[in-house]
Chains A and B, each alone.
Chain A
Amino acid sequence: MRERVTQALPSVLSVLLALAVCWALIALTMDAGTASDAYLQMLWGGIGNWPSYLEGAAATVLTRPLGEAGMKAALLTLTGLSVAIAFKVGLFNIGAQGQMLLGALAAAVVGAQVSLPGVLHVPAALLAAALAGAAWAGIAALLKLYRGVHEVISTIMLNWVAVSLVDAWLVVGPLRGVAEGGQSITGTAEIQPTAALPRLLGDLSRLNLGFLLALLLAVAVWAWLERTRSGFETRAVGLGAEAARAAGVPVARRIGVAMALAGAMAGLAGAVLVLGTEGRYPGTLGAPYGFDGIAIALIGNNHPLGATVAALFFGILRAGGTRMQLLGVHKSFPELIQGLALLFVAGRMVWLAVLRRRQSSTEAPRA
């Protein structure tokens, strides 16, 4: 337990420091009062406006913000898992964005073009998205295994290919939706009602089944990595491919499976976005949740549950961040906090050194 705390401490401190730095930045560009107000707005916008609820406002002042936060947290959890799984096998998946795009497109197509009874339609669309994401990530895995192409470069390239092909061609071309009046709209056709992810709180918020799905998958991934033989082998490959090979681990297969799973997670993030919130593949899938996944995974120490906690926290900040705009603070602020937190996490060695120094100065030196 003690070890767990020491492991998580740099991440927690990093996030706190990022919050402090950003507060100072608003205070400098505006003033200290506005900075504090903005943080308060962000908090109420993320976890619900408790003060006004206690003063008798309707329950929606709680459910709306919490629902938005949960929605964003679901997407961040899934892309964070994607990056974390790849990390466990020793690969850096920069391509979650492209995998998510492909997943979103697959979900939108199955959701709109295929007719299935309600119980089957959602699973079918989710499965299609997972497969599309897995296939896209699989290209990088194959290039790595058979041609030695570094996955950082190949996934960066695959991101650009995905954006170009999907956003600049398929969605505005062959797959472009047609509205009721006959004129074409931006993005693909609306998904059928049977393919929509059910909302958890009815009309009270946009929170949908995707949130539970993300949490379940996080636990499943954790259980797979920590409690199964193939998960153990996957981690062994990540710690040292040569040693794992010598111990009889099928290294290539572990890499292939882990990368496909990573792609599936990112693909599912796309599906949750399309089936849960957007209702179709919109003109551009601008939201860079795939890139956010890198930060989430690393802040969460590449641990499935750590990534989930990071995703929940940043989901709250993201949902609340839109509220800050009321005070004139730009909406990219939560992203800045996220980026700075990652930067400070990258400096975890500095943290650990500082902590160790404090520890050794408080403990009596051993002879």
Chain B
Amino acid sequence: MLEILHALLFSTLDAAPALVFAALGAVLSERAGVVAVGVEGMMRVGAFCAAVAALAMPTALAVCVGMLAGAALAAVHGFLTIRWRSDQVVSGIALNLVALAGGTFLLESLYGPNGTPPITQLSRWELPGLSSVPVLGALSGHSAPTYLALLLPFVFQALLARTPLGLRLRAVGDKPQAVATLGLSVAGLRWGAVLGGGLLAGLGGAVLSTAVLDRFEQHTPAGLGFMALAAMVFGRWTPVGAFLAAAFFAFGNALRIGLVSSAPGLLELVPQGMLLALPYMLTLALLTLQGQRSNAPAALGAPYEQESR
């Protein structure tokens, strides 16, 4: 029993960081009032660039390249939505489509349909003294992003809730006029949040290709960016909430894979497709229960226009 729990926890901790980072990126962007539908595309670009970079440089450095790539795509989003006040959902969807088709095109032109050549994965850290403890030992043996993913949500929560910068970021998503009245730059704050969100989404993607897998594949990230959006909504636009939701999704997935491999008989009772659909149906059910009380930023999706124009 303890062994099963250990294995479940271990694979959750391995798989969750990508989702956690992307969800945090989405929270950051949306709290500042910019819709983050493009997270999926930013993850894909981050995953692709990190894998390609890792062929030429140390993997840890390649992860940074992936982050920058995510931020570059976010910059396009920022240019269209902040500078030119384009529809934020349209811009995000367009970026997803471009990342999907463009990634496939580049992958096949450069490396062929089977993905990039294998790369050196991020090194795993053995925590001395912890590896032999039952269950808790699952905390040992992960790569750096896992530990960062356990820490970052709480840092972000504190940052948003307790610092002047956090207050300004939240205000710019709720009432940009008020922020402008104080003489602060609405565009500047939003740019910061969007680029930060891009860095995080890029990191999420980079984790997929350098820690979860050892290459970039055709289908990476296969909808994980949309799961991150769900985690954000489900976590009510708070960093820790999104983290818990993302961890829950990752655990559910590990549970499904674990159950199927350890008890194949289960598939005779419950079809695979139903198990696959379960997390999404659960999300829908929870959103239904949660209803309108979700605290989405008030000015989310509304381009900011100065009155004086």
Contact = CB atoms under 8 A, between A and B. Distances in A.
Interface string A316-352: 0000000000000010110110111011011111100
Given A330-B109, A339-B102, 15 more contacts: A148-B291, A164-B276, A165-B273, A166-B273, A168-B272, A294-B93, A335-B104, A339-B100, A339-B101, A342-B90, A345-B94, A346-B80, A346-B86, A347-B86, A349-B85
Interface string B21-37: 00000000000000001
A233 interface: no
Interface in A142-161: 143, 147-150, 152-154, 156-158, 160-161
A361 interface: no
Contact of B80 (A154, A347, A353): A347
B84 to A, nearest CB: 4
Contacts of A335: 97, 100-101, 104
A222 interface: no
Interface stretch (B121-129, B170-178, B194-202, B280-288): B280-288
A156 B226 contact: yes
19 contacts: A25-B105, A94-B93, A143-B284, A143-B287, A147-B291, A147-B292, A149-B288, A153-B233, A157-B287, A164-B274, A168-B277, A173-B271, A332-B101, A332-B104, A335-B97, A346-B94, A347-B80, A347-B86, A350-B80
Given A147-B292, A160-B280, A342-B94, A154 B287 contact: yes
A173 B271 CA distance: 8
Contacts of B106: 29
Contacts of A160: 223, 226, 277, 280
A166 B273 CA distance: 7
Contacts of A313: none
A196 to B, nearest CB: 28
8 nearest A-B residue pairs (beta carbon):
A169-B273, A339-B97, A148-B292, A168-B273, A164-B277, A164-B276, A336-B101, A335-B101
A256 B89 CA distance: 22
B25 to A, nearest CB: 17
Nearest to A162: B277
Contact of A336 (B76, B102, B291): B102
Contact of B277 (A25, A148, A165, A342): A165
A47 B101 CA distance: 23
B229 interface: yes
Interface in B83-120: 84-87, 89-91, 93-95, 97-98, 100-102, 104-106, 108-110
Main secondary structure of the interface of B (DSSP, over half): helix
A153 B274 contact: no
Given A147-B287, A160-B223, A340-B98, A152 B272 contact: no
B53 interface: no
Nearest to A142: B288
A50 interface: no
B230 interface: yes
Given A156-B226, A348-B86, A143 B100 contact: no
B197 to A, nearest CB: 17
B298 to A, nearest CB: 14
Contact of B276 (A30, A150, A157, A168): A168
A23 interface: no
A298 B98 CA distance: 15
Nearest to A351: B84
Dominant secondary structure of chain A at its interface with chain B = helix
Nearest to A25: B105
Contact of B287 (A153, A295, A298, A343): A153
A170 interface: yes
B100 to A, nearest CB: 7
A161 B296 CA distance: 24
B37 to A, nearest CB: 7
Contacts of A29: 106, 109-110
A164 B270 CA distance: 13
Given A164-B277, A168-B276, A332-B105, A291 B90 contact: no
A350 B81 CA distance: 11
Nearest to A140: B284
B114 to A, nearest CB: 14
A341 B36 CA distance: 20
A158 B284 contact: yes
B34 to A, nearest CB: 13
Interface in A49-101: 92, 94
Contacts of A340: 98
Contacts of B105: 25, 330, 332-333, 336
Interface string B202-225: 000000000000000000000100
B274 A169 contact: yes
A331 B280 CA distance: 31
Nearest to A139: B284
Given A156-B226, A156-B229, A343-B95, A170 B90 contact: no
B138 to A, nearest CB: 28
B288 A147 contact: yes
A190 interface: no
Nearest to B86: A346
Contact of B98 (A158, A339, A349): A339
Given A152-B37, A153-B230, A350-B84, A161 B97 contact: no
B275 to A, nearest CB: 8
B94 to A, nearest CB: 4
Contacts of A25: 105
Nearest to A332: B104
A336 B101 CA distance: 5
A294 B291 CA distance: 26
B284 A161 contact: yes
Given A335-B97, A347-B80, A157 B273 contact: no
Contact of A157 (B37, B80, B230): B230
A288 to B, nearest CB: 9
